[in-house]
Chains A and B, each alone.
Chain A
Amino acid sequence: MTTQQKLHTRDLGIQPTNQSLFYLHFDCGSCNGCELELASLTSPLYDVERFGLDLVVTPYHADVIALTGVCTPELVEPMQRTLEAMPDPKRIITIGDCAHDGGIFKGTDCVAKRPLAIKDAIAAHVPGCPPPPHVIITALLKLESK
């Protein structure tokens, strides 16, 4: 399957919506693999803007935070503050195995205990290490049509 085929909304089983979703990226201690795949979204092959998905650069404009990485203890506070700056409803989508439960870092001390505010905000998870772009897009679109 080529990329173009993968991304026919028909094949994704998703109805195009007339809504839009602005996502902000927050790195919580990743290896840069997930960032790389997130950055692929804006390439013309995927062209997420046609779905109403748009990358924003400040939490004040964000509908959802795309969280990557294991959530290290040092980054919990900046993460919380970013979340506070976001308008309601606050939503997080965790991208990659690391962001879910630590992946291969699971149970080690670099994976911090997440405060309730962050835990409650997690609305979806995209599995994979790193998840390929079309999987991320599918997840974002599901969130958009919710």
Chain B
Amino acid sequence: MTTDWNAILADCQEKGDVRYRRESNQTHFIIHDRDDLLALCKSLREIGAYLVTVVANDERELVNGSYKRYHYFSHPTADQFLILEWQSDRADDFPSIQKQFPAVAAFVNKSDAAINESSQMMIVGPNHAGIIESGQFRFQIMGEQINQVQFRFGWKKRNIEKLFTTNFTLLDGWQLAEKVVGDSAFAHSLAYCRAVESLAGVDVPETAVYLRGLFLELERLYNHIRNYKALANDVAAHQISTELSVLWQYLMELNERLSGHRLLFGVNRPGGVTLPDAVKNISHDSVNRALSEISVGRVNSLPAFLDQFLKFGDKLLNSASYQERASIGILTKANAVRLGARGVTARASNWKTKEDGDAVLIRFDFRLNHPYGVYKTDAALRDKILTTEPELPEQRLRSHEMRGDVYARTHLRLLEIRTSVAIIQSLLTHLETMMFDTPLHAPVERALQRTPNFEFALGYAEGWRGDVVYWLMKDRFGQIYRCQVRDPSRFNWAALKAAVDRHQLPPIYIKQYPKTQNPAIIIQPDFPLVNQSFNLSYAGYVL
């Protein structure tokens, strides 16, 4: 694959101008010709590259300024970003790459085509029954079956990207970054801080790198368990869901003891991390002691915690009732790739199919694709993540096409929880030998002043939903000129739609089953379960 990638780089060199590269894994070209850009996108699509983000920026006030659009591409097997820049004097003069990369539609704030009015509609929202964010689902239904679903999320718009530029400086933007999506606060602030660090060109102290790795995994852990609990609740497995919600609360309290905040707010800073004064060191010992205090002796260590979880997690997965109910909401691999799905959503659709033969599975995990922080320094951690990608055990498959469904996503979460605990254990071993009395963050202010104005940088982190990407540009006063936030939910809502819409069913189901027994057809009461298995963010989508 790298040869193909290099061939495209050479092609770009021919068709465009190279621009200064900030990081060694980012190559930037300006493309002038419309057809060249489309041709490049086409060949990128052919080698299996994916779209990372698209940033549209109004740079008219710069020298020789114009409207610009930056397309970020990457490839699952290469730790490389390719930036294709397009300039124009008109705001609406941009070649559409939607034909090559349909995922780009997620960036366009255009509502989907109106549903045929003559069919039966069911509108749910914006307020829902339960503790959920506001958003509207519009179902086109036929009897009980869902034909099609549309989402309306504009209700929650908080103008986050604008706020970054008006109310925050480069140094304190982390405060807003962690409030974009509260349950991924650490991943978001980490991505933001990494963008600032990339702009300033500073390195983070080693202890801070490990602490960041630790907190990122803790965030993944509590959210996966929370999700698992909600799934169990949705299929009325109340014993399991109750037990898991206790475990979830233990983790929240553990977060508070280690970082000073239950949701890990306020830990990241550009240049490193800060810990409350009370936390002198973090080691196996302190974590185990905290856990056993929190749980009043019920779980005394992380492995014991994992055992406790697996007891109930496996119970849910092995119950015939869950297997029956969870065989819905199938996101095919083709759809996942086409729509650029991220994180667990994409990985769960990644089971080997018979047609694949020995082909490599596509990986959507920035911890492996673009290793950063601890995942870069520690190859053993990457191996741990690699072994998470399972072959679905044969006995659990009722037929070989059952993949990318609710069950697969649940199962993958279980495996990821196991991996997360293993990673945390090994990080704790490292942290045991590290110094906590040295400063945990490097100074960035000076270095930022030296950065030329109107430079931009990319920051990314693999949160529990998928990769969070921040694009930051410095303005002439050293503040934020533009900050673009790309939560994984941006792509994944389209994936959820594809898993629910009837016309996007995997063709094999249409042939195989009579209409009334088709396990892939979703009836209206099934939707909450499918939605929960994706567990996407509303706030991260409307920003």
Give A residues with C-beta under 8 Å from B. 2-4, 25-40, 42-46, 55, 57-58, 69-70, 72, 74-75, 78, 82, 103-105, 108-110, 129-130, 132
| A/B interface sample: 6 pairs, CB < 8 A | A2-B294, A32-B183, A33-B263, A40-B252, A44-B242, A129-B265
Point out the residue from A27, A38, A103 that lies within 8 Å of B134, measured CB to CB: A27
Question: Within residues 58 to 74 of chain B, which ones have a CB less than 8 A from any CB in chain A?
Answer: none
Residues on A with beta carbons closer than 8 Å to the beta carbon of B167:
104, 108
A4 touches B175 (CB 8 A): no
- B185 part of interface (Cβ distance < 8 Å): yes
With A27-B134, A30-B133 known as contacts, the answer to whether A40 contacts B249 (CB < 8 A) is yes
19 further A-B pairs in the complex, CB-CB below 8 A; given A3-B249, A34-B182, A108-B159: A27-B133, A29-B156, A30-B133, A31-B185, A32-B182, A32-B537, A32-B538, A32-B539, A35-B133, A43-B242, A44-B245, A55-B131, A69-B156, A72-B155, A72-B158, A74-B154, A74-B155, A74-B156, A105-B163
Q: Does B262 contact A (CB under 8 A)?
A: yes
**8 Å CB contact of B253 from A3, A39, A78:** A3
Take A58-B129, A72-B157 as given contacts and tell me if A29 and B134 are in contact as well, using a CB distance cutoff of 8 Å: yes
Cα distance A44–B245 when bound, in Å? 8
Residue of A nearest to B266 (CB): A129
Query: Contacts of A130 on B, CB cut-off 8 Å?
Result: 182, 262-263
Name the residue on A nearest B229 (C-beta).
A43
Q: Are A33 and B182 in contact (CB under 8 A)?
A: yes
8 smallest CB-CB distances across A and B, nearest first, come from A33-B182, A57-B129, A31-B182, A43-B245, A110-B158, A32-B182, A27-B134, A74-B155
Contact of B248 with A by CB under 8 A: yes
Report if A110-B157 is in contact (Cβ < 8 Å); known contacts: A4-B296, A35-B132, A132-B262: yes
> A45, A55, A57, A75: which contacts B156 (Cβ < 8 A)?
A75
Residue of A nearest to B176 (CB): A104
The CA-CA distance from A2 to B262 in the complex, in Å, is 14
Report which of A30, A32, A43, A78 forms a contact with B248, defined as CB distance below 8 A: A43
Residues of B within 8 A of A4 (CB): 296
**Count of chain B residues with Cβ under 8 Å from any Cβ of A?**
43
Contacts of A44 in B (CB 8 A): 242, 245-246
Cross-chain contact A28 with B242 (CB below 8 angstroms): no
Number of A-B contacts (CB under 8 A): 125
* Most B CB within 10 A of own CB, among A26, A31, A40: A31
A32: shortest Cβ distance to chain B, in Å? 4
Tell whether A31 pairs with B155 under 8 Å between CB atoms, given A57-B129, A132-B262: no
CA distance A27 to B539 in the complex (A): 11
For the complex, give the distance between the alpha carbons of A39 and B537 in Å. Answer: 16
Q: Who on chain B is nearest to A98 by CB?
A: B179
- Contact check, A45 vs B249: say whether CB atoms are below 8 A apart: yes
Checking B126, B131, B242 against A78 with a beta-carbon cut-off of 8 angstroms, the contacting residue is B126
Give A28 to B157 CA distance when docked, in angstroms: 10
**Across-interface contacts of B253 in A (CB, < 8 A):** 2-3
CB distance from A53 to the nearest CB of B (A): 13
Is B179 touching A104 in the complex (CB atoms < 8 A)?
A: yes
- Chain B positions within 8 Å of A74 at CB level: 154-157
A36-B182 in contact (CB<8A): yes
Q: Which residues on B sit within 8 Å (CB–CB) of A55? A: 130-131
B361 vs chain A, min Cβ distance (A): 31
Q: Does A25 contact B154, Cβ atoms closer than 8 Å?
A: no
| CB-defined contacts of A75 to chain B, threshold 8 Å | 126, 134, 155-156
- Complex formed: what's the CA distance from A33 to B131 in Å? 11
**Given the complex, which residues of A lie within 8 Å of B185, measured CB to CB?**
31, 33
Chain A contacts of B445 at CB under 8 A? none
B187 contacts chain A at the CB level, 8 A cutoff: no
Residues of A within 8 A of B126 (CB): 75, 78
- Interface assignment of B287: CB less than 8 Å from any CB of chain A: no
Which of B176, B263, B537, B538 has most A Cβ within 10 Å?
B263
Give A106's nearest chain B residue, CB to CB: B167
Interface string of B171-183 (1 = CB under 8 A from A): 0000110011111
